[in-house]
Structure 1
Amino acid sequence: MLENGDLILRYLERLGVEYVFGVPGGSIEPFYDALARSERRGGIRTITARHESGAAFMAEGYARETGKIGVCCSTAGPGATNLLTGVASAYADGIPILVITAQTGLDKFGQGSLQETSCTGIHTVEMFAKCTRYNTLVSHPAQLETKLLQAVSHAVSNQPGPAHLAIPLDVMRHRIPDNVKDQALNAFLNHEVAPNQASLQALLDDLECTDKVTLVLGEGATGANDILVALAESRNWLLVTTPRGKGLVDSFHPLYRGVFGFAGHNSATDALKVENADRVVAIGTALDEVSTCGWDPTTILSDRLIHISSNPSHLSRSTMARLVVLGSPKLVFGAIADKLIGDATGESRQPATSDAPLPENTRFDEPEVCLERSGRIKAQALMNFMSTICPRDSRVLMDTGNSFLWGIHYWNVRRPKGMPAERNLFNIGLGFAAMGWAIGSSIGMAAANRDKPVVCFTGDGSYLMSGQELTIALQENLNVLMLVLNDASLGMVNHGQKLSGGERVATQLPSVDFAMMAKALGVESHTVQTMEQLIDLDIPEILSRPGPCLLDIIVDGDQVPPLGSRMKVLTGSIPNDN
């Protein structure tokens, strides 16, 4: 006889899942029993996080790297509530994860069980309702298989995100016959959204007769980016990415003008102005604050906009657009690219293979600082140097705070030749912007692909929240390079207070030796106070071998990160006393 926990794992194996990230406990124990049985036969195994929010972040990193569904679990009570921030982060960024939380036994609901989270206790199912695509209590053993399939279906749909199953102890432990026949998983295969033919023709008619076009690649353009770059080259159209789409285009491509939006580049803004773009074609982006530079009406959000996405929630925000196309960007442009490229009359523009220190066509706020080597380490120079020295196929994550501001603006993506279009090497958790997101996600990403190096930039504030997850990278022998930007402050908040004229309060952190902390954990570490010390480290060698390493980077906290668009939104909310 099998138990329902074994049934769950059997379905997850068919989806190619390799790990479940979580923290064990009493009410989830039957699921961990099933995981132990699975591991003994070489199937799915568990990776034990240090905190449940870290487990959710790891599941997200795993999903980002593999394209499969990530899975995390927790026991009842605080185990479930600890997952919430990580689940909300995956929801905000549209990452498919399956979230399994335990409940005490059904017959004990309302009896004041230890860690009770039923509808008569601390109602966790209700808590998950607003940060999941599917959310349910499995109240009877016969429901589990159907609800599991429904959960996975919602998680990997064209509106992807987390799906939550709350499973009582006795339901998880319920026995089922060994020879029970699994249901079909056809609903989870080949579910790309096909565009309407009339919409395709309208798009083709519009673009065929337009010379000045700027393509804006959001995260949903993944998989279509090679087609889009080829199309831009054939017609001399400009290329821009949103912050989440950064990484889909090589930063040194001659048609690329940088990131538009949060921490973006003025060259990208110029590429979207009416004098440079008769049409702005936004692909796979939600048109939220961070991808529209605080809803700037002079760039993307105008009647020049053509908006294409497979996610209908994205398109609900493009009410001003001249044309909206619901469909997979890969299918949309695959259908019309040959015609547009065949009709092209412009000079072809091939990708650059330059070893130049900075892209020529992207306008940085402080380009001269990117090359500075003297004095305290400038984050601008750190990002530029590391993007040059790290292997081109490194997976890079930028944590919430100054890290993702500096990274969006100053990290230069050099996409290797032959890199699959589905691969985005630059990762940020910008939707919910949870501190410590990158720490857990980098571990999930490294576990998913142990052959590739993972580079995680985080701040001292984030590391003090979640740095203990580094012990998992050690335990799993994962190739993770953790760089802690140490300025003894909550840097993004600190600079935000300065720029907004707010009170200077609550941002100072104690001076911490993060290298010593890492050594205490058994992790290789180095304190880096100058660019010369960083250059002397053999970064490629560190990234060529398994096992984690931490660099405690003492950065110049006086350097102001590119906060412009964010400050415009924040200060615009301040009432005018006049």
Structure 2
Amino acid sequence: MVQISGGELLVRCLIKENVKYVFGVPGGQLLTFLDAIKRVGEKHGMKFINCRHEQAAASMADAYARTSGEIGVCVGTVGPGGADLVPGVYPAYADSVPMLVITAQNQTWKSYPDHGSMQALDQFHLFKPITKWNAVVSHWERIPELVQRAIRIALSGRPGPVHLDIPVDVLYNGNEESFAKVYPPERYRPMKPPVGHPELVELAAEMLYSAERPLIHAGTGVLRAKAWNELKELAEYLGAVVTTTVGGRGSIPEDHPLCILPASPAAITAQNESDVVLVVGSKMGDLDFWGKPPAWGDPEKQKTIQIDIDPEMIALNRPVDVGIVGDARETLKALIEAVRRKGERREPVERLKDYRKMQQEWLNGFLSLAESSEKPIHPLRVIKDVREFYPRNAISIVDGGNTAVWASYLNRIYEPNT
């Protein structure tokens, strides 16, 4: 019988998930894996992207996952290679981005606990605080099981990065092909996400349709669930104002008539004045002022409905009147049907024109700086000119610090995952 190495078995598992790219830096412990990508993976469209640094590899896997909606995969060798992945993995954990992080480890007989090996590092505990789940793969036969479990966890519920630490002997050792239980995704993970409870969806529909000033607040959960079309359809049927979290930008085009720019004075005013708020896929963190007044209404007077795939996020920062656990896209579909049964399409919220006027007056101050020809030029001039040069679906990569502040004013986001 044909024998295959642990490295090839790992590649076969990734092929079943239709993984197209593996980002990383080569290392001796990874040779069987890299060789299998070349021999076997490339026939199925898989490529190894050789990076200059492991942090870049993790960031590239993160960016790929954010923009494509698919799981990102990155790899680093034992010790410094694994450690250098950490700065790129943490943002994915913070933003709930699905990634599979693979690290090579020293041989099983000299790891956990280490007893003086070169480049030794306890990578299991290093990655534990910044991943949803991780494990050490201690045997060839466990590769398919643990890869499947890792990907199931990464993609199910609230997504996020997962980590597998694989000793070099597990990657190099071989076994008969017949022992490799490599299944397609539908055999080991749910292919359809859960929908919110019908009674709660019906209650939410009644509250929203009866509201005078309904508002929908969209977080990154809308993007992860690919629920942007459902969000827009519900908002247009209700005539509801739409605001987003900073991370949820792109859930609705920022030039849509119902959209008010995130964290702007107009958005804060609309959020404060709304009588019924629907929060979708957001924990309402610090950039949402934790859902507290005056950025929001008094929770004893302003009704709040929250939809989230993760039950731990329900009422995390703000009390709710209706908490619905379910996938954003599937639950919004059900909510749209329930709202349609309530009556005809509603006109936009009456105060919307006032919010848009307030927003434009706020933007005018920044536009005057952005359109100035004074030297040295103002940073907003760069932001405005760059945004106008690129098409609506251009992907924005914004650095931290003041760059992020200027970009938040004039770098409009029009399409999901851009």
Q: TM-score, normalised by structure 1?
A: 0.65
Deviation at 1:114, TM superposition (A): 1.4
Deviation at 1:189, TM superposition (A): 4.5
CA distance in 2, matches of 1:93, 1:378: 31
CA distance in 2, matches of 1:70, 1:29: 20
Deviation at 1:300, TM superposition (A): 3.9
Gaps of 5+ in 2: 350-356
Instruction: Find out whether 1:235 has 2:235 as its counterpart.
Output: no
Work out whether residues 272 and 293 of structure 2, in 8 Å CA contact, stay in contact via their aligned partners in 1. no
Instruction: Find out whether 1:249 has 2:252 as its counterpart.
Output: yes
* SS of equivalent to 1:413: coil
Instruction: Find out whether 1:282 has 2:279 as its counterpart.
Output: yes
* SS of equivalent to 1:376: coil
Alignment of structure 1 residues 166-565 onto 2, 5 Å: 166-179=165-178, 180-186=180-186, 187-222=188-223, 223-260=226-263, 265-274=264-273, 277-290=274-287, 292-293=288-289, 296-300=292-296, 302-303=298-299, 304=302, 305-341=304-340, 343-344=343-344, 346-347=346-347, 361=360, 363-364=362-363, 366-415=366-415, 423-425=416-418
Instruction: Find out whether 1:102 has 2:104 as its counterpart.
Output: yes
Structure 1 residues 20 and 267 mapped into 2: Cα distance closer, same or farther (>3 Å)?
Answer: same
Work out whether residues 272 and 299 of structure 1, in 8 Å CA contact, stay in contact via their aligned partners in 2. yes
Work out whether residues 260 and 359 of structure 2, in 8 Å CA contact, stay in contact via their aligned partners in 1. no
* SS of equivalent to 1:102: strand
Question: Which range is displaced more, 142-151 or 224-233?
Answer: 224-233
CA distance in 1, matches of 2:63, 2:34: 22
Deviation at 1:195, TM superposition (A): 0.8
* SS of equivalent to 1:395: coil
* SS of equivalent to 2:169: helix
Q: Give the letter for the 2:85 counterpart.
A: L
Deviation at 1:69, TM superposition (A): 1.0
Work out whether residues 99 and 165 of structure 1, in 8 Å CA contact, stay in contact via their aligned partners in 2. yes
* SS of equivalent to 2:28: coil
Structure 1 residues 4 and 359 mapped into 2: Cα distance closer, same or farther (>3 Å)?
Answer: farther
Structure 1 residues 363 and 229 mapped into 2: Cα distance closer, same or farther (>3 Å)?
Answer: farther
CA distance in 2, matches of 1:190, 1:363: 45
Work out whether residues 257 and 362 of structure 1, in 8 Å CA contact, stay in contact via their aligned partners in 2. no
Deviation at 1:200, TM superposition (A): 0.9
CA distance in 2, matches of 1:41, 1:140: 27
* SS of equivalent to 1:188: coil
Deviation at 1:164, TM superposition (A): 0.7
Q: 2:127 maps to what in 1?
A: 128
Structure 1 residues 322 and 174 mapped into 2: Cα distance closer, same or farther (>3 Å)?
Answer: same
Deviation at 1:82, TM superposition (A): 0.7
CA distance in 1, matches of 2:50, 2:154: 23
* SS of equivalent to 1:282: strand
Cα root mean square deviation, aligned: 2.3
Number of residue pairs matched? 398
Deviation at 1:50, TM superposition (A): 1.0
Structure 1 residues 201 and 338 mapped into 2: Cα distance closer, same or farther (>3 Å)?
Answer: closer
Work out whether residues 58 and 74 of structure 2, in 8 Å CA contact, stay in contact via their aligned partners in 1. yes
Structure 1 residues 316 and 279 mapped into 2: Cα distance closer, same or farther (>3 Å)?
Answer: closer
Out of 18, 24, 42, the residue aligned to residue 20 of structure 2 is 18
Dislocated runs of 4+, deviation >6 Å: none
Gaps of 5+ in 1: 118-122, 350-357, 416-422, 426-578
Q: 2:37 maps to what in 1?
A: 35
* SS of equivalent to 1:321: coil
Greater share of helix: 2
Deviation at 1:60, TM superposition (A): 0.7
Out of 114, 117, 138, the residue aligned to residue 113 of structure 1 is 117
CA distance in 1, matches of 2:145, 2:345: 55
Deviations along 1:337-362, whole A, 9 cap, x unmatched?
A: 1442462463369xxxxxxxx99658
Deviation at 1:301, TM superposition (A): 7.1
* SS of equivalent to 1:126: helix
* SS of equivalent to 2:397: strand
Structure 1 residues 308 and 20 mapped into 2: Cα distance closer, same or farther (>3 Å)?
Answer: same
Q: 1:93 maps to what in 2?
A: 95
Deviation at 1:66, TM superposition (A): 1.9
CA distance in 2, matches of 1:51, 1:134: 24
CA distance in 2, matches of 1:52, 1:103: 15
CA distance in 1, matches of 2:183, 2:406: 48
Question: Which range is displaced more, 337-346 or 96-105?
Answer: 337-346
Q: Percent identity?
A: 28
Work out whether residues 194 and 327 of structure 2, in 8 Å CA contact, stay in contact via their aligned partners in 1. yes
CA distance in 1, matches of 2:283, 2:16: 31
CA distance in 1, matches of 2:289, 2:12: 45
Deviation at 1:299, TM superposition (A): 3.2
* SS of equivalent to 2:362: coil
Deviation at 1:391, TM superposition (A): 1.3
Deviations along 1:320-376, whole A, 9 cap, x unmatched?
A: 111111112222221131442462463369xxxxxxxx9965833633213223322
Q: Give the letter for the 2:396 counterpart.
A: V
Deviations along 1:136-190, whole A, 9 cap, x unmatched?
A: 1112222222111111111111121111111101001121323444234224352
CA distance in 1, matches of 2:27, 2:58: 16
Structure 1 residues 359 and 57 mapped into 2: Cα distance closer, same or farther (>3 Å)?
Answer: farther
Deviation at 1:311, TM superposition (A): 2.5
Structure 1 residues 328 and 217 mapped into 2: Cα distance closer, same or farther (>3 Å)?
Answer: same
* SS of equivalent to 2:7: helix
Out of 6, 9, 32, the residue aligned to residue 7 of structure 1 is 9
Structure 1 residues 287 and 27 mapped into 2: Cα distance closer, same or farther (>3 Å)?
Answer: same
Deviations along 1:236-288, whole A, 9 cap, x unmatched?
A: 2111111011122222222211113xxxx1111111113xx101211111211
